[in-house]
Each structure stands twice: as structure tokens, then as C-alpha cells.
Amino acid sequence: MTVLGVDCGGTNIKMALVKNNGDIAERALEPVNFRRPAARAIADIAGRILKFKSRMGLSRIPKIGMGIAGEVDSARGLVRFSPNLGWKNVPLKALLAKKLKSSIHIENDANCAAWGAFCLDSKRDCNNLICLTLGTGVGGGIILNKKLYTGSTGSAGEIGHMTIQHDGRRCGCGNRGCLESLVGAWGLIQTAKEGLRRGRAPILKKMLKEEKLSPKLIEAAARKNEPFSKKIWADAGECLGAALSNLANIFNPDRVVLCGGVSKAGSLLLKPALQALQMRAFETPVKAMKVTVSKYDEKLGVVGAALLTLE
Amino acid sequence: MTVLGVDCGGTNIKMALVKNNGDIAERALEPVNFRRPAARAIADIAGRILKFKSRMGLSRIPKIGMGIAGEVDSARGLVRFSPNLGWKNVPLKALLAKKLKSSIHIENDANCAAWGAFCLDSKRDCNNLICLTLGTGVGGGIILNKKLYTGSTGSAGEIGHMTIQHDGRRCGCGNRGCLESLVGAWGLIQTAKEGLRRGRAPILKKMLKEEKLSPKLIEAAARKNEPFSKKIWADAGECLGAALSNLANIFNPDRVVLCGGVSKAGSLLLKPALQALQMRAFETPVKAMKVTVSKYDEKLGVVGAALLTLE
């Protein structure tokens, strides 16, 4: 049995025919313009899915599992609020179902990634897993007792908006000192901009002539031994470590899986993070908790979205 | 059916015969000296339980549920580490079973309080509940999908050791900026001492001639309108609010129950806490989450310990 997994990004959708063991049979990436009324964007998504179906020579559309950034009410098929897509209270499931004759399940994208990480890598030896998606923002998904935990009204898992510095930097969500504001790509770029303004990042400044500012560029400057850029990663790692320590003390999970672009900075981020985790958290949960960077990063969301429909 | 609930404090044990609806038939408080080798303290506990049994005219000792401060491995009946009692790797269940012919279940005391809060007050209309015990330290217990969540190795729920100020004050656990160090009685007293040293708390200073420094005394000084003492509560409330916001965003629970001595400060603590929660957390989980101060404070631990044996 195969399921169609769909991962809605900000400018495109990722589609994949996913077997129930998590293998991908076929995949595609299609552009979708979300900067227009939701109904029109959704009609476009439906069209892309129909196109994918005919290209694959399928007689009918399989079951669909779809991941969306933002607050999703899965039970009612509603996207309550997605700042990324500019949606508020959009009945995504109903609008899609009108266009496609198929069973559809929608879920928050970080929850999908968590389920993907659990199914692809951890199902056998793991009961409790937390996934952190370190991208422009920071998302989270929580698997407890081998089930996705979504809370009382479906919005649990917003680990990126955990306060770890209660008088800290203002976050996009309105709060101060959120993990996301300190470790997300947006936060890293803000810190770099402050350093550039104060003339503290000459190597990074030089590199900006050829490429625009990104975590990847800050990483490159750090690898060229620029102290300020190295400190950005050390500080971000320390903050990530405080967050990991909170997860250890609160959830005592078997595993924390990191994914997303920022997680690619490797030891620049992970070394200070794991040091802070050791220093901060209780001994028993730290010993029990494996922290890994996912090797399946690109497909976690789409595979998880698909496999959640089988639950 | 009645169960014997036992709550081990630092200087005494609380015992109660608990019916399966949570009602208490009989209760007793007995002093126990924990400042000696664990085996001797446990022999004393067993003696107090036997005395309680004969005083109640029971033919045999009922099933026992026991709550202990510290890290408890319930499955193995082991107290891994209890700084309060000075215990490390104490096989409490086995040592007690030698003295008492009864089935015994041991659990972390804040987990017991959470289960007590759930059973006494919340079972009908609540799936997910978090309990915070605001005493000398800050403990936590997590009920998810109507079950106590204890994590992969039994040490989940240490919400008091959630970092909310990553460069903050050193906590007893070795970490910095833990909720406990900012909102626990010990933390409040430290802040008051700093103010007293700097001559900023004249009303509190005067009150110290008649009573020793405690959250209750800081509360009294605040109610006499001393600005510094009022600020202690406002700051503690703000920190508690940041923690509540983390719980809302991460767990999206139906309810958070506060208990313990510090929770008795009422609106001095709760008003700024609820304001911070509103400001910081996402809208949907805040709307779904009821924050209450338990009216059953004194019996939560002993009732929860007893009723957990029936799970």
C-alpha cells in the first residue's frame, strides 16, 4: 500500500508516493504561490497533485497525508493559523476534498517530521522521541509511548517557542527569549547583522559580496576562524543545550532528533550544545537520551505526513 | 477497598487510609529522622506504619503507595537519588517489604501530587494535566491522556529544573536559571536576603525580629506595601508565567494545578504569572488551559500515592 505524502513549504510543495515501510517510490517538487487567497493556492495544490497522479499513471489518487507549517486542527481539517502561508482558519481538508476524491489527513509539519524520524530510524528501540526542526523557525514534534502527542486541542509541540531567556530578544511570536529567536536561522542572521553593524565580522562582511547572509555563510566565516562568527555558533549551541536540557528533565526521552538547515552546522553547534546539556540536566535522563542529527532530513516531513495517515 | 498512602517529607511521614474514590478514612502524621543511614530510617518508617495499622485495628497492612522527594525508579522500587533525604540508590521497596508483608509501590512525590490533583478534581473533564508543587523546591508531575507520564527511565516531570533564564542564578541542581531557583522558597529567600543586605527592605527587616525569613513573611511585607517585597513577587510571578507559557506551548494541556506553600501567596504571584502567560504563549493553548491553585493541597501527595497503586 502506498500513500501520497505532501509537504507544503512556503514556495513549493514536495510530494512523494510512500510505501508503508517508509520507502519512497516516486517523488516530485512543484512550485506553489501561497501569496494569494487561500482558496486559489489550494486549487493550485490540487492541480499539482492531479498532475503528479497522471504522470505516475495512477488510476486514482491514493490516501493523502499533508504537512503544513503552523497551527493545525487535524480533527477538523482546519489550518487555524499559519504565519508562513498567511492563512487563518482555512478549512484546508474540505477545500482539497472538493477537488480531489481522496481521504486526506492534515498535520503540523514538525509533527510530521517527528513521526518520520520515529518511523524511519527509531521505531524499534525508542518509545519517546522529540524532534526539533531547526530552520528559519524552530519547530517541534513529540512522540510519547510510540504515539504522536498533540495535546488537548492539537497544538502541542511548539518547542521553538519555549522561553529559555525570559528577558531575552523579542521573537516573531510576540514572546521574548524563545529558543527560535536564539537558534533559528532568523535569529542567527539578526545576531550576525548586529556584529556587522558594529564592525566585528570583517570576514563575514567580505563574504557578503558574493553571497547573501545565511546560517551557511556564518558557518563558513566561523570555519575561517572569525571569532565573532564562531561565537554566534557557540552561543546558539549553548542555548540549544539549555533547550535539550529542558527536554531531558521534563520528558526523559530516549531520543532527540535534530533536522533542518541549521542542524547542518555540525560540531560548531552540537559541541557546545552537548556540553551545555551535560552541565545543565540531571544525570539519569542525559544518560538515557541520544541526540542525533537526522540523516533523512529531506524526506522526514513527507514520509511522516504519509505514514501518519496509517495510524 | 482502601489503600495506605504514605508521603515522606524531610522530617516526618504523612499516612492516610484512602478509599478508591480519593476520600480519606483515617490519617496520621509521624516524625521520622532521615538524618541517619537509610536502612535505619526505613526501619523507623516500617515501625510507624505498623503502629498506624494497630491503632486503626486493621487485621493486615493494606496495599501501600509511597511518595518520595527525588529521583525514583518505580519499576525497580529504587530511590536513585534524593538530595532532601540524603539517599543514593536505596532499594526502598525491598527494605520495606522485608519488614511489612504488603504490596508496595513507590513514586516521586510530585508525580503523586499530580495524580492526586487529577483524581480529586479533574478526572472527568481533563485528559492532560500538569501539576507544579511550589515549595522549598519546585516539583512537577505530568498526566497525559489520563495516565502518569514518567519518561523512558522514570525521571520525567522535573519541571522545576526547566531553564527559563539560561545565564541566570545558580540552582541547587548545578544548572543556571532553573524555575526552582527563581520561584521556589529557597530562591525567594535568596532574593530577599540580597535586598536586606542592600538595605532595600526595611519593613521585612523589622518583621525579621519576630519571625524567621520565609515566603510567608515576604508576602506579609508585600501586603504592607513594601516596594522591594512586592517586586520579589512580581518577578517570581513573571518567571512562573514564562514557565506556564512553556507548558502551554509544549504540552497544550487542559489544566495546570499549582500547589505547595509558595502557591498560597495568591494574587501576588498569580496575577503577574497569568499576565505573563497571556503575553507569552500562543492563543489557542492558553484559551484551552485552566490554571488553578489546588484546594486539596495538604492531601494531594498522600491520596495520589495511594491511588497510583490502583493503576
Cross-chain Cβ contact B162/A239 below 8 Å: no
Arithmetic mean of pLDDT, B44-63: 94
Give the right CATH number for A2-113+299-308 from 3.40.50.2300, 3.40.50.720, 3.30.70.330, 3.30.420.40.
3.30.420.40
Is the confidence at residue B1, as pLDDT, over 90?
Answer: no
A153-168: average pLDDT? 96
Helix or strand holding residue B247 (H, E): helix B227-251
Interface of A with B in 146-185 (CB under 8 A): 149-159, 161-167, 173-177
Nearest-CB residue to A284 (from B80, B149, B165): B80
Predicted confidence band at B144 (pLDDT cuts at 50, 70, 90)? very high
B83 dihedral zone (left: phi>0; alpha: psi -120 to 50; beta): alpha
Residue A274 amino acid letter: L
From chain A, pick out residues whose CB is under 8 angstroms from the CB of B122.
none
Amino acid at A74: S
- Determine the residue of chain A that is closest to B72 in CA distance: A284
Q: Give burial (CB, 10 Å; 0-12/13-18/19+) of B292.
A: middle
**B262-267: long-range contacts (C-beta < 8 A, 24 or more apart)?**
B262/B134, B262/B135, B262/B183, B262/B184, B262/B185, B262/B188, B262/B215, B262/B236, B263/B132, B263/B134, B263/B293, B263/B294, B263/B297, B264/B216, B264/B219, B264/B293, B265/B215, B265/B219, B265/B233, B266/B293
Interface of A with B in 282-311 (CB under 8 A): 282, 284-285, 288-289
Does residue B306 carry a pLDDT above 90? yes
A109 touches chain B (CB under 8 A): no
Q: Cα-flanking dihedrals φ and ψ of residue A33, to 5°? A: -90, 110
Residue B118 has what pLDDT?
A: 97
**Can you give the pLDDT at residue A123?**
82
**Which residues of chain A are within 8 Å of residue B149 when distances are taken between CB atoms?**
144
Confidence bin at A139 (pLDDT 50/70/90): very high
Contacts of A153 in chain B (CB under 8 A): 252, 284-285, 288
A156 to B251: CB separation less than 8 angstroms, yes or no: yes
Q: Do A157 and B282 touch (CB under 8 A)?
A: no
Is B22 in a helix, a strand, or coil?
A: coil
**Torsion angle, alpha carbons of A279, A284, A287, A291, to 10:** -70
Contact A149 B151 (CB under 8 A): no
Shortest distance between the Cα of B24 and any Cα of chain A, in A, equals: 31
Q: A29 vs A86, A94, A296, CA distance in Å?
A: 21, 23, 17
Same fold, B2-113+299-308 and B125-294: yes
CA distance B226 to A269: 46
CB contact under 8 A, A151 and B175: no
Beta-carbon separation of B156 and A285 below 8 A: yes
Torsion of CA B138, B166, A271, B140, to 10 degrees: 20
Topology (CATH level 3) of domain B125-294: Nucleotidyltransferase; domain 5 (3.30.420)
pTM: 0.96
Fold of A126-294: Nucleotidyltransferase; domain 5 (3.30.420)
CA separation (Å) from B180 to A16, A197, B189? Answer: 47, 38, 12
Instruction: State whether B153 and A285 contact (CB < 8 Å).
Output: yes
Task: Place A296 in a pLDDT band, splitting at 50, 70 and 90.
Answer: very high
Which residues of B are less than 8 Å from A177 in CB distance?
242
Which of B82, B166, B278 is most worth mutating to test chain A (most A CB atoms within 10 A of its CB)?
B166
Please report which helix (H) or strand (E) contains residue A275, including its range: helix A267-280
On the question of pLDDT at B122 being above 90, the answer is no
User: Which band of pLDDT confidence, cut at 50, 70 and 90, is reported for residue B84?
Assistant: confident
Which one of B154, B243, B282 has the shortest CB-CB distance to A173?
A: B282
Does B128 reach chain A within 8 Å, measured CB to CB? yes
Chain B residue with minimal CA distance to A276?
B175
- Please give the pLDDT value at position A206: 97
Tell me: pLDDT of B44 over 90.
yes
Mean pLDDT over all residues of chain B? 95
Partners of residue B177 in chain A, C-beta under 8 Å: 242
Which residues in chain B have their CB less than 8 angstroms from residue A80's CB? 284
Q: How, if at all, do strands A2-8 and A64-68 pair?
A: parallel
Query: Where exactly are the structural domains of chain B?
Result: 2-113+299-308, 125-294
The shortest C-alpha distance from B117 to chain A (Å) reads 18
Nearest CA-CA distance, residue B254 and chain A, Å: 6
3-state secondary structure of B34: coil
Question: Residue A66 in contact with residue A106, Cβ under 8 Å?
Answer: yes
The pLDDT score that the predictor gives to residue B176 is 96
Tens of pLDDT along A229-268? 999 999 999 999 999 999 999 999 999 999 999 999 999 9
Average pLDDT for residues A67-78, to the nearest whole number? 94
- Residue A116 CB coordination number (10 Å): 32
User: What residue in A sits closest to B248 (Cα-Cα)?
Assistant: A156
Does A71 touch chain B if contact means CB atoms closer than 8 Å? yes
Q: Does B125 touch chain A (CB under 8 A)?
A: no
| Residue B225 contacts A, CB cutoff 8 Å | no
Determine whether the interchain pair A163/B280 forms a contact, defined as Cβ–Cβ distance below 8 Å.
Answer: yes
This model of the complex carries an ipTM of: 0.96
Angstroms from B52 CA to nearest CA on chain A: 35
Of B158, B163, B173, the CB nearest to A164: B163
Give Cβ neighbours of residue A29 (< 8 Å, ≥ 6 apart). A12, A13, A14, A15
User: Nearest C-alpha of chain B: how many angstroms from A59?
Assistant: 40
The answer to whether B166 contacts A284, with C-beta atoms less than 8 Å apart, is no
Where residue A71 falls among pLDDT bands split at 50, 70, 90? very high
Residues A197-215 have a mean pLDDT of 96
Q: What is the pLDDT of residues B163-213, one digit of tens each?
A: 999 999 999 899 999 999 999 999 999 999 999 999 999 999 999 999 999
Q: Is B239 on the interface with A (CB under 8 A)?
A: yes
Q: Residue B70: left if φ>0, alpha if ψ -120 to 50, beta else—which one?
A: left
Please tell me the distance in Å from B258's CA to the nearest CA on chain A.
17
Q: What's the burial of A233, exposed, middle or buried (CB within 10 Å: 0-12/13-18/19+)?
A: buried
DSSP character for A174? S
Pairing of the two strands A129-134 and A138-144: antiparallel
Provide the grid cell at B84: 532532601
How many residues can be counted in chain B?
311
Q: Which three cell numbers stand for residue B9?
A: 517529607
> Taking 90 as the threshold, does the pLDDT of residue B93 lie above it?
yes
CB of A63 within 8 Å of a chain B CB? The answer is no
Residue of B nearest to A168 (CA): B165
